[in-house]
Structure 1
């Protein structure tokens, strides 16, 4: 169970403590899903400590600039509160992907991966903290280091695609890579680790070469 008072800010401070313990003045930070939200919070609060930021479909990116569709999606997330764990997970998984996608998901009624049993409590904690925490948009805009965003083409366009769109308009140096056939629960770093590793290495190397980022045109309509 998450600790009482859990928040994204607690995660960000944990990152800071870990970096200090390792003696890192600056470092590269990569986060996926809830970890991506924590990485965003860290970039906003401690930008001087990062060389680059890697975002693998962060689960949240602040409470500003939401579209009507994104707000409607969050209403559906809130409606999951109180459901039995198995029903909760089945409906939660469907909300994160494009309609009709089944590839890469646990088979209903079949053997479930070990992480499934631990998910509901953690997801509830994240949903609650996302609604109460603030991500300073101006602080995000002041983060001038390179930012890499890995996006699964089969993820829900009203969720992770919208997050990518919003962040692309805020971060000065935003680099998007879309992975065909992937989604939030069959993520690129799990399915195509070598490709993601290569992209991250290129990101880290770019701090020495000054390579420019790429845009986001047409991503919402891309399917894998």
Structure 2
């Protein structure tokens, strides 16, 4: 039975860059299908950009691959979208894997809201490189040095500040009932780094209360913006393979 995984990136690096180390580590033991965001399909964000636009695009992408059910993997903004997809289309998922979702859909608790207010305050009025620098700093623990800015921009990266702002706006506007996550029966995996802002630990605690079957793993010396190969290490890849194997075994048992 082939392992088919749809992979959603964050709002900065495209899917091919984000998941290249994971593809190399897995070495064809799983079929990773990389799905970039609709947000960056044109010269600027669509005027009617929304979370549902992205979710519908994942549906179409899976259909184009002939996948009725699949494993879903999301990083950062892709993690938010993966959670929204899981809650609204649980029948399509065999498992859900996340690394530091940008936020959790639905009504936020006081600690979550305080973190969002802090991020918004840091970004207020900023654009371009100043926006990106503040966006990175706000998601690291105090005292953690942010990575240096790239010496030259990858094509398309000039869209990222405006795109991230549009994505955050869509996430905040999205109406979602977190009880939908409580009803999910598939296994879930969450990874986060110990150098990221404490908000990640808050989110981990929230997700632990929402999902009945979740494994949470904290990675030492890692934060949200380390290079992809420092996130999707062999240890991380093995945790994902364990998740997919367990989910596939459960699916086979149901078919007997």
Task: Say yes or no: TM over 0.5.
Answer: yes
Q: Give the C-alpha shift of residue 157 in structure 1.
A: 0.7
Equivalent residues in 2 for 1:129-148, closer than 5 Å: 129-148=170-189
Which residue, 62, 66, 81 being the options, matches 2:124?
81
Work out whether 1:8 is the aligned partner of 2:48.
Answer: no
Instruction: Answer yes or no: is the 8 Å Cα contact 1:140–1:171 preserved in 2.
Output: yes
Distance 2:232 2:60 in 1: 31
Count residues in correspondence: 205
Cα offset, 1:124, TM superposition: 0.2
Q: Structure 1 residues 144 and 96, CA, compared in 2 at 3 Å: closer, same or farther?
A: same
- The whole-number CA distance in structure 2 between the counterparts of 1:166 and 1:38 is 17
For the Cα contact (< 8 Å) 1:153–1:183, is it kept in 2? yes
Cα distance 1:63–1:50, how it changes in 2: closer, same or farther (>3 A)?
A: closer
Matching residue of 2:235 = 195
Q: Cα RMSD (Å) of the superposition?
A: 2.0
CA gap of 1:192–1:25, structure 2 versus 1, over 3 A, is: closer
- 1:189: Cα distance to partner? 5.6
- Provide the secondary structure at the position in 2 that maps to 1:40: helix
Q: Give, in whole Å, the separation in 2 of the partners of 1:9 and 1:208.
A: 28
Shift in alpha-carbon separation, 1:146–1:188, aligned structure 2, 3 A: farther
Tell me if structure 1 keeps the 8 A contact 2:97–2:240. yes
Q: Residue 165 in 1 paired to residue 211 in 2?
A: no
Q: TM-score, normalised by structure 1?
A: 0.83
The 1:171–1:183 alpha-carbon spacing in structure 2 relative to 1, beyond 3 Å, is: same
Is 1:95 paired with 2:95?
no
Question: 2:114 aligns to what?
Answer: 72
Within the candidate set 203, 218, 223, 1:178 is matched to: 218
**Does the residue aligned with 2:45 lie in a helix, a strand or coil?**
coil
SS at match of 1:151: strand
* TM-score, scaled relative to structure 2: 0.74
Name which of 91, 98, 105 aligns with 1:55: 98
Q: What SS does the corresponding residue of 2:105 show, helix, strand or coil?
A: coil
Contact kept, 8 Å, 1:96 with 1:184, in 2: the verdict is: yes
